[in-house]
A = this chain, B = another copy of it.
Amino acid sequence: WRLILCRKMAKSKFEYVRNFEVQDTCLGNCWVVVRVDGRNFHRFAEQHNFTKPNDVRALQLMNRCAQNVMEELDAICLAFGQSDEYSFVFHKKSNWYKRRASKFMTHVVSQFASSYVFYWKEYFPDVPILYPPGFDGRVVLYPSEQNLKDYLNWRQADCHINNLYNTTFWSLVHKGGLTPVQAQIRLKGTLAAEKNEILFSDFNINYNNEPLLYRKGSVLIWQKVNEVSKKRIKLPNEADEKEVEVSRWRNEIVELHCDIIGDQFWEEHPSILSDAC
C-alpha cells in the first residue's frame, strides 16, 4: 500500500512538466487558415492506381472528408480543395479552443485523415485501401479580408496552372505517344497559351471544356436552404387529417466549382465572411 501512496505524491511531483507546454494562441481578429496536404501522395496515388491527370473518385473523396471536417468542427466558413490539398478557413472572430494553433491544426488534420479511410470504400468500392495515409497540416493567419482572398486566389491559380500542365503532359503521353521525359522536355518553358494550343491542335481538346472540378477545384460553403416537407396534421376542430407543407431553414454544406478569383463569387455569397458565420 505504501507504494501506491507514494505514487500519488509522485504524480504531483512530476506535474511540473506541464509548465513546459507553450501557449500558441493565434493573434485575434485574423482569419485562421489550416491547410492539409497529403503526405507522399505521389506514392499513394501510384499504389492505388489513381487515374492521371485527375482521378475523379479521389477528388470526390477529398471533398467528402472536407465536408466531414466542416460538420465536426466549429466556425469553418469555407473550405477550398484541389489535388491532394484542402484549406479550411476559420472565422477571424472565432474563439474556438481559445484560438490555440495546435488545436486548429491537429483537429482538422486528424478528422481529415480518419475520414479518408472511413469514406474510402464509398468512392473506391473495388479498390482496397492498402495502408493508412498520412497528412501534413499548417496554420497561417491573415489579418485582412483581402489577404485571405488572395490566399484562396493563390490556391485556385495554383490549381489552374498545375491542371493545365498535367492535362497537356498526360495527353502527350497517353495520346501523343511520348515518354514522360519527352513530354517534360516538350513542355519546358511553354506558356499557358502554348499548352492550350497543343491541347487544341494535337488532341482536339478545348481546355475550357474540361470539367470545372479539375480546372477550378472545389469550394465548400455553408448555405441556408429552405427545406419543404409534407406533414399530415389533425386540426382540433376538424374531423380529418390534412396534409400541410412545412418549411424550415437549415444550414447545409454546398459544393461549388466556380471562380473564386475576382469579386463575383464574394458578391454572390456575402454571408461567408460576415460576422454572423
Contact = CB atoms under 8 A, between A and B. Distances in A.
Interface residues of A, number: 77
A20 B14 contact: no
A123 interface: no
A74 to B, nearest CB: 12
Q: How many copies are assembled? A: 4
Interface stretch (A143-151, A234-242, A269-277): A143-151
Contacts of A140: 17, 20-22
Interface of A: 1, 4-5, 7-8, 10-11, 13-25, 27-30, 36, 39, 68, 72-73, 92, 101-103, 105-107, 109-119, 129, 131-144, 147, 150-151, 153-154, 157-158, 160-161, 164, 191-193, 196, 261
B118 A135 contact: no
A52 B115 CA distance: 27
Residues of A contacting B: mostly = helix
B141 A15 contact: no
Contacts of A144: 29, 143-144
Contacts of A5: 191-193
Contacts of A141: 20, 22, 27
A106 to B, nearest CB: 4
